[in-house]
Amino acid sequence: MTYNAGIIGSGGIAGMGILGMHAESKIGNEKIRASHAGGFDAQDEIELVAVADVDEEKLERFGAAWEIDPDRQYAGHETMLETESLDVVSVCTPSYLHDRHVIDAARSAADPDLIWCEKPIASGVTGALEMVDVCAETDTELLVNHSFRFTDKLQRLRTLVQEEEILGELQSVTTQFRMELLRNSTHLLDTLVYLLDARAEIVSGYLSGENEAVDSLDAGQEVDDAGGGGFVVLDDGTFVTVDCTIPRESSSMTLQFIGSEGKLYMNNDDGEWRYWRLEDGEHVEHALPGIDGAWTWEDDYQQAFENAAAHIVDVLDGRAENGSPGEEAIRSIEIIIGFYLSHHTGGQIEIPLPRPLRDVRVTSW
């Protein structure tokens, strides 16, 4: 069976390249495989048939690059959703538009079975909760593109941590990545909650006020998103520190876990994962069973979009359950919003957020 797919938003992550990740000469001019369109293109069972964007110049460039029929290039998502019958809809717009576009797609005449939403799920908790609720009401799978989840290495590591308990009782986690919180710490925080199957209980945060995407990459937009971090206490009592204040050039995405039976060091930028087992009071280094090498941006991130699209086929065919549902994506966005609330109020924030605080939204580019 062939599934028809449409994309809302024809910019970087949809298939045309991202500032800070791809050569500037390619951005907007060439199709990029590490993208939603690239993932669809890699699957024989999915055909990308339509795209929508309010920017008609971007729309035409995307349509030409990915060979979309000009009659199915729509200047606005409403028309596409009214006209097309789609099995899958990708939402690749700025994060503050995710809730509107996912809800519109779920309730539309296009009647998709699955919506593949780019991370973060939304720019605020209220929007994320509404997305999850509407998709449940319309029997639409909401799959959030936390791309690390779609790599064999991280899936195997999750099994080692949760089922084989290589760390024993977790005691402390230290994490670090580049600024900004909404745009980048989403990767870090979803990796954390995915590996541990955990949720925050208490958040305390700090904002640096710096936005490298705007200041250094010439993103050309004024947004709320900024570097920052803080600490998180998870629902199992684990204490986690988060530092996302570092410029891109000097940063590495690192996580270090310390438990009663061992410790784990992950450096995804430099492709280094190391594991030590606690033996007679000493940490002795061992290979991670079933994992060859370490996660890298060059290999695993590039492959993640193709893997995610293959997973979408499995979900639609009934062979797999959604591996990145909206309910789990809320776990990372509520930590990020908690950091912002904590910084501006000067206090600790309890999770889940009480109703009046859920409406806080953070814009990003």
- CA pair distance 22, 259, nearest whole angstrom: 38
Q: Which domains does the chain have, with CATH numbers?
A: 3-148+302-325 (3.40.50.720), 152-294 (3.30.360.10)
Residue in the block written with tokens 């964007």? 53
Residue in the block written with tokens 């979309």? 68
Across all residues in the chain, what is the average pLDDT? 93
- CA pair distance 158, 198, nearest whole angstrom: 12
Give the per-residue pLDDT at 302: 85
Longest dimension (CA), the chain: 69
Q: Which of 15-19, 162-166, 255-259 has the lowest mean pLDDT?
A: 15-19
Query: Structure pTM?
Result: 0.94
Q: Is residue 83 pLDDT above 90, yes or no?
A: yes
Q: What contacts 24, CB < 8 A, 6 or more positions away?
A: none
Average pLDDT of 261-268?
A: 97
Give the per-residue pLDDT at 306: 96
- CA pair distance 58, 63, nearest whole angstrom: 8
The model's pLDDT over 216-245, given as tens digits with 9 standing for 90+, comes to 555 556 788 999 999 999 999 999 999 999
The model's pLDDT over 284-310, given as tens digits with 9 standing for 90+, comes to 999 999 999 999 988 898 899 999 999
Q: Which of 7-16, 45-54, 217-226, 234-243 has the lowest mean pLDDT?
A: 217-226
Give the per-residue pLDDT at 49: 98
More confident residue, 298 or 340: 340
- pLDDT-derived band at 22, boundaries 50, 70, 90: very low
The model's pLDDT over 97-124, given as tens digits with 9 standing for 90+, comes to 999 999 999 999 999 999 999 999 999 9
Give the per-residue pLDDT at 44: 97
- CA pair distance 27, 226, nearest whole angstrom: 23
Q: Is residue 78 pLDDT above 90, yes or no?
A: yes
Average pLDDT of 58-84?
A: 95
- CA pair distance 16, 33, nearest whole angstrom: 9
